Amino acid sequence: MILDVMKPSEIKKVDPVFGQLSFDDHEQVVFCNDKDTGLKAIIGIHNTVLGPALGGTRMWQYKNEWEALNDALRLSRGMTFKAAITGLNLGGGKAVIIGDAKTQKTPELMKRFGEFVHSLSGKYITAEDVGMETSDMDLVREVTPYVTGISESKGGAGNPSPITAYGVYMGMKAAAKYQFGTEHLENKKVFVQGIGHVGETLVDHLVKEGAQVVIADINEERLQAVSSKYGVDIYRGDDLYNEAMDIYAPCALGATVNDDTVYKIKAQVIAGAANNQLAVEDVHGRILQERGIVYAPDFLINAGGIINVYAELEGYGKQEIIRKTENIYNTTLEILQNANANGITTNHAALNIAKDRIATRKKENSK
């Protein structure tokens, strides 16, 4: 139900913010509005026990503000656990800007957004996500130091997407090892859904390894460009979830494993970059487990990007970024084995480890 069509009596019953499903003890949610630039943004700060809340900014044409709020809540929560499981001293945050990145993003809007980030005094540190480029973060950097993912020429670690893709590739190989008994992806049929910044580099790794790659996207230009560059097939059907494949790699938006798709999916492994792939973690994670489909938790295998931007804060170099990202292979394998041993979903197993780390730190902080 959309808030602005609700009667006051109904609002009470639903508990519109603190009571909704996506709200999970978030510390702070900031609504940013600027009439002059047309900026409407929401910054979600989920948890700062391990450190400042770091997470990218997404610009998207949400159907309504309610959908945008949900995205900010879900994405910021995911960042908390991503940082925790990767062993980084960061909390979880994320921002969404409501609008079309192609037509409504202006330098003035980005700088105004940066001023809102600055007003939080470093409690939230931003970076790029869907709809953002490194050049946008350079603009934000003009008004606040609380930004990562800026250009290498400006002292940053550059675009995090290639490292994210490398981490996803590592996680996918670990999931393949677990499910198929071999990490080699040669001749495996892999559907990559979303061939943007991350998806394209993932396609590159897969093609080099001899996988049979099929790509899907809503952007025809991208499809043509990636298909001709890497010689991969374009999916032209109307229901990708019904297609026979070995591995499904969601690299567009979240919640593609949902009530409509979870019983159809024919892949034996799901491993991709998109955040929050499971519409309802417990429900859809459990169904995948029952169906024998190995799900590599998204917040675990797409952590390459955060490792890359964390390097800007900690001052470590490319070699360490690669080493930490390659470790995603080992962590993924351990978590898949742990889930199996304990009869829990892979998502649950990963969350347990992340939550333990936060709880331990919380205890230490309170001493």
Q: How far is the CB of 56 from ligand NAD (least distance, A)?
A: 7
- Cross-strand pairs, 191: 214, 248
Determine the Cα–Cα distance for residues 339 and 342; give it in Å rounded to an integer: 5
User: Which residue among the candidates 82, 94, 105, 111 is catalytic per the annotation?
Assistant: 94
CB 217 to ligand NAD: min, Å: 4
Backbone angles phi, psi at 2, to 5 degrees: -85, 135
Distances (CA, A) of 185 to 102, 175, 181, 221, 355: 35, 11, 11, 27, 32
- Pick the closest to residue 163 from 184, 146, 149 (CA basis): 149
Give the nearer residue to ligand NAD in terms of CB position, either 160 or 285: 160
Q: Which of residues 129 and 246 has its CB atom nearest to ligand NAD in the complex?
A: 129
67/115 with CB nearer ligand NAD: 67
Q: Which is nearer to ligand NAD, 5 or 218 (CB)?
A: 218
Least separation, in Å, of the C-beta of 122 and ligand NAD? Answer: 21
Question: Can 318 be counted among the known catalytic residues?
Answer: no
Distance CA 304, CA 99 (A): 27
The least distance separating ligand NAD from the CB of residue 298, rounded to whole angstroms, comes to 8
Nearer to ligand NAD, 204 or 217 (CB): 217
Residues that bind ligand NAD (CB under 6 A): 129-131, 160-161, 164, 193-199, 216-219, 222, 251-254, 273-275, 302, 305
Is the CB of 229 or the CB of 362 nearer to ligand NAD? 229
**Between 93 and 194, whose beta carbon lies closer to ligand NAD?**
194
Q: Cβ 202 to ligand NAD, closest distance in Å?
A: 9
CA distance 258 to 252: 15
Minimum distance, C-beta of residue 330 to ligand NAD, in the bound complex (Å): 19
- Least distance (Å) from ligand NAD to the CB of residue 192? 9
Q: Which residue is nearest to ligand NAD (CB)?
A: 196
Decide if 271 contacts 171 (C-beta within 8 A): yes
- Which residues form the catalytic set? 94
